[in-house]
Amino acid sequence: MNGLLGGTDLRPGALARLADFAASQGGATLHPPGRFALWRFGTPSGGLRAVSGDDVHAWLLGDWFEPPSPRSEPPPTQELLAAYRREGHGWVGSVVGQFALVLWDARRRELALYRDDSSAQSLYYHRLPGGGLVFSDRLDLLVSCPLVPRRLSTEGLHEYLRFLDISPPNTVYAGVFGTEPGALWLHDRHGLHQRPAPAARQAAPADPAPATLDDAAAALDDHLARAVASRVRDTAGLVVFLSGGVDSTYLCALAAASGRPVTAITVGFDDAAADESAVAAAVAAALGVPHRVLRYSTGEYRRAFEDLAAAEYPVADPAGAPTLLAFEQARELADTALDGTGADTLLGIMPPRHQRLAVQYAARLPFALRRVLAGAMAAVPRVRDYRPILDFGDPQEVLVRWRGWSRREIEQLCGRQVSLAGTRFYRVFRGFAPAEHMARYSALMGNLPDDRIHIATGLTGVRARFPFFDPGVTTFVQGLPEALRYAGGEHKRVLKHALARRVPRALWDVPKHGFDFPFDTLLAADGYALVRAYADAPTLARLGCADDAPLVRTVADYVAGARHQRFRVWALTVLGAWLQHHDLTA
């Protein structure tokens, strides 16, 4: 295990048990046990910077691209303490990086936990009776310590079945929570509480918003070029995962212009509907960038599936297996990869028209009335295709990406009322007015955890850096009128206009497949071997559902040819494999 493990305000017996565990696992003491204690195990993912001064001690995991003061060159880590003394906890909003922070102020008897918006680093915690807290940047390390029970979380299971992933604050373990990106958590004499997110540093003085698309594109290009340059200057080798889409194409163009050696990597698929290697090859050739197209056998995907099943939490994103294999290839070429995570949220995505109508208008109707109307529409050929406008449960479900179980179906499975109100997805949804379609949908896309990238970096050691999270880029784009980001049905309008300045539009302005791994083929391989091994009735019974017969029927129907159940069966197979690898039950 690699990572940090710590605790604060632990009772003597609990502190002794934690210290004994750390010693038995070879943990190195970073702060001696007392009111606060911290140990390091192995080499924490992303690297570790530590700094101490007087009564303040801080540990920063991950990358720090710019210091919190223009007067210093990064690191030096002493600037961290100086910024804390100047600004208090607000200083973290001025740091440009991808990091998690653990800060102990002994004088105030206060622990601060923070992770930036990129979600590149994680922090988890478990509250003990009596007010104590144990925490770690690694979920598997935290639940291995004797103070944390290893039980499947009911709320986490509900969220997984609905969304096919679990977002902070929930996790797959009962009583274990993740800190949300951009949120500051404090543990002091009043217990654990959350502070409002520190404000990000604003560019000063702020330039007037560009009036034309050309001006906006030129300014965006300048901001993104600086963001890429700051993220590649310390690389020994650089790769860009070039899918053929506009985000990765733009990053590849900027990386090529940075002067650093760069290799483009594309995962190709035999299924022409999912393969974008030809588009990626044309882009790489135009940029003069070495390009590798990777194609994998079913056996290689099966091996990657097993590696992911052994990871710290279940990842049902179908692109997880090819992503891990691509990172393994990247490890032979480079230590850093540029990734376009964050672009969709930043530039904005407008949901389809039927979803906008459902959220803004149909959601006002009672559920029973909507079901009656949707049933009537099914009988009329000319309008039956419009049923999705009315045929849904909670309004939030209209915008869910994966095809999981509805809340009402989960209630039938579990034999109890189920609330998803505490999930991050539902809370983000509630933060917008009914007509704020683009802002809401973009925020929800940003809510989705990019766990396949996080797991792949942890398993391979290749750093992933996300230029679209740069504060300068974020501040600029958020100040643009919506018409420069979306108009006439064109998403990411200003980004595409800027990209055309570097790469001919004819090469990349083609229908986008998305990174759609044909997981159906993997599920069906060798007589549905994965499904039979991990989504069998005994494994599904370990979920603790009151009635798991519908799950068993879903799997049987899929094996019998019901392809529309493939997302659900994939999710059950992933979860079952993870449960078997971790010997966990409800």
H/E run at residue 62 = strand 56-66
Residue 539, token pair as written in the block: 């494994």
- Judge contact between 458 and 450, C-beta under 8 A: no
What is the pLDDT averaged over residues 491-507?
95
The stretches of 332-448 forming alpha helices (DSSP H) are: 343-347, 353-360, 367-378, 407-414, 424-430, 437-447
Q: Convert the pLDDT of each residue in 36-49 to its tens digit.
A: 999 999 988 778 98
Q: Convert the pLDDT of each residue in 424-453 to its tens digit.
A: 999 999 999 999 999 999 999 887 667 899
The helices-and-strands tally (H runs, E runs) of the chain is: 24, 17
pLDDT band at 411 (very low <50, low <70, confident <90, very high): very high
Q: Convert the pLDDT of each residue in 48-58 to its tens digit.
A: 989 888 899 99
Task: Please tell me the total number of residues recorded for the chain in this structure.
Answer: 586
Predicted pLDDT of residue 75: 46
Burial 78-113 (b: 16+ CB within 10 A, else e): ebbbbbbeeeebbbbbbbbbbbbbbbbbeeeebbbb
Predicted pLDDT of residue 72: 47
Q: 3-state DSSP call for residue 481?
A: coil
Predicted pLDDT of residue 292: 96
Name the percent of the chain lying above pLDDT 70: 95
What is the pLDDT averaged over residues 190-196?
88
Cβ neighbours of residue 341 closer than 8 Å, sequence gap 6 or more? 118, 450, 453, 464, 466, 468, 469
Q: Convert the pLDDT of each residue in 233-275 to its tens digit.
A: 888 899 999 988 899 999 999 999 998 999 999 999 887 777 8
pLDDT, greater one: 204 or 556: 556
**What DSSP letter does each residue of 498-537 carry, written as one string?**
HHTTTS-HHHH-S----S---HHHHHHHHHHHHHHHHSSH
- For the chain, what is the radius of gyration of the CA atoms? 24
H/E run at residue 7 = strand 3-8
Is the pLDDT score of 515 beyond 60?
no
Cis peptide preceding 388, ω within 30 of 0: no
Q: What letter would DSSP give residue 53?
A: E
pLDDT, greater one: 361 or 83: 361
pLDDT band at 90 (very low <50, low <70, confident <90, very high): confident
pLDDT, greater one: 539 or 66: 539
Cβ neighbours of residue 68 closer than 8 Å, sequence gap 6 or more? 79, 80, 83, 87, 91, 94, 95
Predicted pLDDT of residue 74: 44
- Judge contact between 151 and 22, C-beta under 8 A: no
Is the pLDDT score of 76 beyond 70?
no
What is the pLDDT averaged over residues 550-576?
96
The stretches of 288-352 forming alpha helices (DSSP H) are: 298-309, 320-331, 343-347
Predicted pLDDT of residue 4: 97
- Judge contact between 30 and 102, C-beta under 8 A: no
Name the percent of the chain lying above pLDDT 90: 75
> What is the C-alpha separation between 459 and 439, in angstroms, rounded?
34
What is the pLDDT averaged over residues 11-38?
96
Is the pLDDT score of 196 beyond 80?
no
Q: Convert the pLDDT of each residue in 137-172 to its tens digit.
A: 999 999 999 999 999 999 999 999 999 899 999 999
Report the DSSP beta bridge partners of residue 51.
58
320-331 helix and 451-460 helix, angle to the nearest 10 degrees: 30
H/E run at residue 239 = strand 238-241
Whole-Å CA distances, 3 to 41, 139, 462, 519, 558: 5, 10, 16, 32, 40
Cβ neighbours of residue 514 closer than 8 Å, sequence gap 6 or more? 245
Would you tell me how many other CB atoms lie within 10 Å of the CB of residue 430? 11
Phi, psi of 58 (to 5 degrees): -140, 150
- Judge contact between 515 and 319, C-beta under 8 A: yes
Predicted pLDDT of residue 512: 66
pLDDT, greater one: 200 or 58: 58
Torsion of CA 205, 211, 212, 213, to 10 degrees: 60
Task: Give the pairing type, strands 191-195 and 184-188.
Answer: antiparallel
pLDDT band at 511 (very low <50, low <70, confident <90, very high): confident
